[in-house]
A and B are shown apart, each in its own frame.
Chain A
């Protein structure tokens, strides 16, 4: 066992997959000698050379588009967006090209786009986004958003081995704040399986990414102060959703709070709420509650950003409200 940060876990997954499979290569901006804006690819250029860790021009559409071309001709590219915000430049390549090739032409597209996402780092409107919902609406993509170092490593390995385009949202706030003991043995976490981060019987809290920790803090306090036992589900994979686990939990607790850091309207929480109302309406004792960021761009000033984002306190209050029904 050795201690690894969330960021180191991603680096280890890249290293191990590149060592295991020579068809895996990386491309992105400043990922080579510099090791990436966040140093996620540190040491990989030295270990694998410039043909497998390719520095590109500032051209997100060319990065994602050429990853598609490489993926359909025998390689397994892992493309890095310097910030998830910049994925907009390559949006068309992902939704029109990568997502549809298998359905249209029966051509698998085994590629990963790593996208450092999320706020709380005082990044302002263009270095803080959580753009997963845009991609959730496009059939054909898989979407992953780990919260723990173990999942960061194991889900990235599965993403690289998957035969589909996977967008891997790694939360920047967690990069160095999350530290865990990771086993020496290989970690592979399957896509499409959520995880119960905290067992509970009274209310189901569905979340992912950095909000997992805010939900756990709220759940701990609710138990200590009100004897409310919240079951916290970390989705881990957002597409495809693990509806089986979600519905099992809802049938047990009859109360649901969904928490995400992405803005509220049209978010993934809306789809989960709709599916719960379609499939488990008779089990519900209260309306499904959503807690999310405001429907505005991400503001820069800390006092504004704190107001904009969900946190443990807001989640705590929402759960208390739902428990009164």
Chain B
């Protein structure tokens, strides 16, 4: 665990652990529901990248804007989303936040300043940059934080968005979750650079390459970049190197993944790593870990029961409104 982790207070470290564990356990339940045939459509989990997603989102304040992507259940939870809302979303229920219109964790929440992604993940970068522009123009002292995979970082929007954010010195932080595979494509077929964070130089902004399995290190680095952005010093690019411990989605057995690489990263499992660190440094004892696990298990049980009992959408909703009316409540920040 990070050398310089001393300046993060213990309650934050415990919260990181609680959220990484909650993410892992919630995703395990989602996979179980998928295998039982209760979830239709794809399931994309973040096993192996939870330290990156959780710690980045936890580094934000409530008023800051979060743009998670399809694997970032941990970021939703860290920004305050409930397990119930996530399960309702996966189950396509009528009382979820998209009224059954959207799949997986592609959903927004006005009350938490979360903006859900479209499947062209890189396309969210200019949108997040626009939110940052808007926050700057309205002098809101808030920051927009956006995730992208190392795969998605190769789309043109990455360049257009980051360049514009740099030119305008916007309060914007872009996290690259480098989990080393874009579906089945390994990094050597994705880019030539040693570090993706080196691209930051081309935009005249700071770039960081860090261990994305180290929750405390991610929290520290992102917190610093977020506060720097908040103070008007402009955007940052942070590459968090981790490993996708499962297939691209629940149907994919990932036979193509390098065996040695998998072995190496199994030892760096972000959950086990953080738990060991907390136990070793007497920040938590075994009893407290068990208690946290038990609390989360109860929450998941309760949410699953409620989600399964929830009503499906009314077929009439397929004819749902395409246009907002001029009396519609405007989006964020009112």
Partner-B contacts on A (CB < 8 A): 25, 51, 54, 56-57, 59, 61-62, 64-75, 77, 92-93, 96-97, 100, 102-110, 139-140, 142, 161-164, 240
Contact = CB atoms under 8 A, between A and B. Distances in A.
A219 to B, nearest CB: 33
Interface stretch (B205-213, B294-302, B318-326): B318-326
Give me the 3 closest cross-chain CB pairs, A-B, nearest first: A69-B130, A65-B126, A66-B130
Interface in B85-144: 97-99, 101-102, 106-108, 110, 115-116, 118, 120, 123-135, 137-138, 144
Given A25-B137, A102-B322, A62 B131 contact: no
Nearest to A73: B134
B137 A75 contact: yes
Nearest to A105: B108
B193 interface: no
Contacts of B168: 54
B11 interface: no
A282 B99 CA distance: 41
A74 B124 CA distance: 18
Contacts of A106: 98-99
B188 interface: no
Given A72-B115, A74-B334, A104-B101, A65 B326 contact: no
A96 B157 contact: no
Nearest to B164: A62
Contacts of B261: none
B322 A140 contact: yes
A123 B163 CA distance: 30
Nearest to A68: B127
B323 A69 contact: no
B186 interface: no
B224 interface: no
A93 B126 contact: yes
A236 to B, nearest CB: 17
B205 to A, nearest CB: 14
A61 B160 contact: yes
23 contacts: A25-B137, A57-B167, A59-B163, A61-B123, A62-B163, A62-B164, A65-B125, A65-B130, A66-B133, A68-B130, A69-B126, A69-B128, A70-B137, A72-B127, A74-B331, A93-B123, A103-B101, A107-B108, A108-B331, A139-B322, A161-B326, A163-B323, A163-B330
A325 to B, nearest CB: 37
A56 B163 CA distance: 10
A109 to B, nearest CB: 8
B324 A108 contact: yes
A19 B172 CA distance: 29
Nearest to B107: A105
Contact of B157 (A54, A62, A73, A163): A62
A96 B101 contact: no
Contacts of A92: 120, 123, 157
B202 to A, nearest CB: 13
Interface in B27-84: 65
Contact of B326 (A56, A102, A163): A163
Nearest to B324: A108
Contact of B328 (A61, A97, A105, A163): A163
Nearest to B128: A69
B183 interface: no
A103 B134 contact: no
Contacts of B160: 57, 59, 61-62, 65
A75 B133 CA distance: 10
A93 B156 CA distance: 12
A74 B138 CA distance: 9
Contacts of B132: 69
A142 B326 CA distance: 14
Contact of B164 (A59, A77, A93, A240): A59
B321 A103 contact: yes
A218 to B, nearest CB: 34
Given A72-B332, A96-B123, 13 more contacts: A57-B164, A65-B125, A68-B127, A69-B133, A71-B331, A72-B115, A73-B134, A74-B331, A74-B334, A100-B118, A102-B321, A104-B116, A108-B324
B315 interface: no
Contacts of A62: 126, 129, 157, 160-161, 163-164
B333 interface: yes
Contacts of B125: 65
Given A69-B128, A75-B138, A108 B123 contact: no
Contact of B102 (A56, A104, A110, A140): A104
Nearest to A79: B130
B118 to A, nearest CB: 5
Nearest to A66: B130
A69 B167 contact: no
Quick one: which of A56, A66, A72, A107 has the most chain B CB within 10 A? A66
A96 B144 CA distance: 21
Nearest to B161: A62
Interface string B152-173: 0000110011011001100000
Contacts of A104: 98, 101-102, 106, 116
Contacts of B115: 72
Quick one: which of A65, A140, A240 has the most chain B CB within 10 A? A65
Quick one: which of B106, B125, B133 has the most chain A CB within 10 A? B133
